[in-house]
Structure 1
Amino acid sequence: MSFAPGELPAQFAQHNLNIDRIEDADSWSAKRYNVGPQCIEPVYFFNVEHECTTPLLRYMKWGVTPKWASQKPQRPSTFNARYENIEHSKVWSRCLDHRCVIPIEGYFEWKTESSKNKQPWFIRRKDQKLMFLAGLYSVTSDGKYEYTVITREAPKQLEWLHSRMPVVLEPGTDEFNSWLGLEDSNWAKLSKLLRPHEKDDLEWYKVKKDVGNVKNDGDDLVKPINQESLQGFFKKEDAKPTKCGAGDSMKDEGENDFASQETLTLSRKEGVIKKEEKDIEESPTKRPQSLSSTTPSPRKKQHTITDFLRK
């Protein structure tokens, strides 16, 4: 998040959202353009205190640790939750009454242009206000807060870029308020609140490939590398047809749907989400071997950047 904790209330006010207080923010919660899994980022949710509903902003670790893995030295965590799997996975069943939204300024998505070339694009709101992603959070046995981002199929306007997208909720709508509401954790009702983003309020443009290197940071990572707009992109596509879109990015969509983990990497200033999707199996004996790799501690300011939406 490129905004310091003290700057966020003003950003939320642009959406007519109040923040009662900000919790667990420290000197590490500074401005950053690249944010990866295991990092600490702000999460907005409602809490009941003294019989009153209180809107809180709490800094949480990105990645929910499955209960069966909580005692292991190298604890795998799920950075994203596939919409289609939430109802059937025990990983998420304990999180349904802990719903939240994650404020971001935008996200990165990588488009495969050839077998050896991928181009990052940056997606944000046209008015450059904060976006709010639907998420779930949990509290570990030692009292630490963790969150995950929910994704589902991309809308038609972004299918050319990738087949999936984080779920966006608009402040002030019934969907936003009901998602954060505390009354019901029935997934049959909640799932109807999470729809593909069909509004024409987003823009996107190409950015430098430096965003793929964990050592790189700075506002130049979210600046366009040229003046190519959405309209310009499609004009080129019409003039010279190319093979792009869902067909290029869905090759793993049907593989190991339950056993792979889906990962989404956020970054802000004009924010970033970089995604790598694989689902996670509840059984520790069946989870992907790649999850056993260690991840750096956010307190050491080592931000992990994954390949975006690579399953």
Structure 2
Amino acid sequence: MCGRYSMSFAPGELPAQFAQQNLNIDRIEDADLWSAKRYNVGPQCIEPVYFFNVEHESTTPLLRYMKWGVTPKWANQKSQKLSTFNARYENIEHSKIWSHCLDHRCVIPIEGYFEWKTDSSKNKQPWFIRRKDHKLMFLAGLYSIASDGKYEYTIITREAPKQLEWLHSRMPVVLEPGTDEFNSWLGLKDSNWDKLSKLLKVHEKEDLEWYKVKKEVGNVKNDGEDLVKPIKQESLQGFFKKEETEPIKSESKVSIKDEEKKDSASQETVTLSHKEPVIKKEEKNINDSPAKRRKNSSPPTSSPRKKQHTITDFLHK
């Protein structure tokens, strides 16, 4: 299905985006109704729809802003709520909801769409699907003119290709600009579903990419560019590099050599953590003896062993 997608281009920016795929826009209509720049478009939003209109016996490519979700002609007589933001490919021919829309065909430009994957713990993780080249995707759709004269649209879905079955069993129908399917879907005057249905194929091309995004996209009230960016994997490096602390050992098991090794390791750690001038100073004295290097460096803190001797001597007094 397709219940959420991204379209962050303003009306004035779309002609340049369309031109990247050799598409022309004769004019833009009802842009004043636009729902504003959104990365998280949901049903009932007013977004751009591209279609061919016959004017003076010639085909004119128009971009009109319409509401997402079609109102059936008989909706006033029914109290039940209908989900009409998607039209299932398999039901279009037999459903009276879409019977009056077959001669009103369109494509919906999007940057990408969201889909949710439910794991074994019933947690829903959103994913974002878009073209690898980051150009606009065009989804097959139908539009209708409501009783109040306002335009509405729906997005057609069908079964997902094998490469995306793991994410969801369905996906929107994608039409590629410049292909016979794209041009015929928009320009074919015949509304016979047998002909039209052959134009809407499962998207088998490997031109899409997908990645996890923030769960905040689940609320349509949330918006922002960060909702379409990949989730940054939290680094576990800091978790494993915890600050080293000296282990507690028995006095009898700690030898003088062990203490000297710790002092030497401590000196190396301090040297590496200092700024460049300190590192150069250590390099200059590299030929000096270990005893001399320790003498020139900052005085080491008293070791737990020395402290323990002091306490012992005090008790024996």
The alpha carbon displacement at 1:182 in A equals 3.8
Whether 1:107 and 2:113 are equivalent positions in the alignment is yes
Alpha-carbon distance in structure 2 between the residues aligned to 1:227 and 1:181: 46
2:152 aligns with 146
Alpha-carbon distance in structure 1 between the residues aligned to 2:65 and 2:115: 24
Alpha-carbon distance in structure 1 between the residues aligned to 2:207 and 2:59: 30
CA separation of 1:159 and 1:179: change in aligned 2, threshold 3 A? same
Alpha-carbon distance in structure 2 between the residues aligned to 1:200 and 1:227: 25
Q: What whole-Å deviation, never above 9, does each CA across 1:166-188 have from its counterpart, x for those lacking one? A: 00000000000000014210000
Task: Indicate conservation of the 8 Å contact 1:167/1:195, yes or no.
Answer: yes
Alpha-carbon distance in structure 2 between the residues aligned to 1:201 and 1:169: 12
Report 1 or 2 for greater relative contact order, CA contacts < 8 Å, sequence distance ≥ 6: 1
Whether 1:79 and 2:96 are equivalent positions in the alignment is no
The alpha carbon displacement at 1:29 in A equals 4.1
Q: Secondary structure at the match of 2:31?
A: coil
Alpha-carbon distance in structure 1 between the residues aligned to 2:195 and 2:33: 39
Whether 1:121 and 2:122 are equivalent positions in the alignment is no
1:163 aligns with 169
CA RMSD of aligned residues (A): 1.8
CA separation of 1:71 and 1:47: change in aligned 2, threshold 3 A? farther
2:305 aligns with none
Structure with more of its chain in helix, by fraction: 2
The alpha carbon displacement at 1:76 in A equals 4.3
2:304 aligns with none
The alpha carbon displacement at 1:74 in A equals 8.6
The alpha carbon displacement at 1:75 in A equals 6.8
Q: TM-score, normalised by structure 2?
A: 0.69
| Corresponding letter in the other structure for 2:95 | S
Q: How does 1:182-261 map to 2 (within 5 A)?
A: 182-226=188-232
| Corresponding letter in the other structure for 2:150 | K
The alpha carbon displacement at 1:70 in A equals 4.2
Q: TM-score, normalised by structure 1?
A: 0.70
| Corresponding letter in the other structure for 2:100 | R
| Corresponding letter in the other structure for 2:122 | K
Q: What whole-Å deviation, never above 9, does each CA across 1:237-271 have from its counterpart, x for those lacking one? A: xxxxxxxxxxxxxxxxxxxxxxxxxxxxxxxxxxx
Aligned residues: 228
The alpha carbon displacement at 1:26 in A equals 1.4
The alpha carbon displacement at 1:72 in A equals 6.9
1:292 aligns with none
The alpha carbon displacement at 1:118 in A equals 1.2
1:288 aligns with none
Task: Indicate conservation of the 8 Å contact 1:207/1:224, yes or no.
Answer: yes
| Corresponding letter in the other structure for 1:93 | S
- Decide which structure has the larger Cα Rg and report it: 2
2:96 aligns with 90
Q: What whole-Å deviation, never above 9, does each CA across 1:183-207 have from its counterpart, x for those lacking one? A: 2100000000001100010001111
Task: Indicate conservation of the 8 Å contact 1:131/1:168, yes or no.
Answer: yes
Task: Indicate conservation of the 8 Å contact 1:99/1:135, yes or no.
Answer: yes
Give the one of 175, 185, 189 matched to 2:181.
175
The alpha carbon displacement at 1:148 in A equals 0.3
The alpha carbon displacement at 1:114 in A equals 2.0
Task: Indicate conservation of the 8 Å contact 2:21/2:177, yes or no.
Answer: yes
The alpha carbon displacement at 1:50 in A equals 1.2
Q: Show structure 1 runs of 4+ deviating over 2 A.
A: 27-30, 70-77
Q: Mind listing any 5+ residue stretches in structure 1 that lack a counterpart?
A: 229-311
The alpha carbon displacement at 1:34 in A equals 1.1
Q: After alignment, is 32-41 or 124-133 more displaced?
A: 32-41
| Corresponding letter in the other structure for 1:217 | D
Task: Indicate conservation of the 8 Å contact 2:111/2:130, yes or no.
Answer: yes
Alpha-carbon distance in structure 2 between the residues aligned to 1:77 and 1:164: 16
Q: Secondary structure at the match of 1:26?
A: helix
| Corresponding letter in the other structure for 2:190 | D
| Corresponding letter in the other structure for 1:101 | V
2:14 aligns with 8
Q: Secondary structure at the match of 2:148?
A: coil
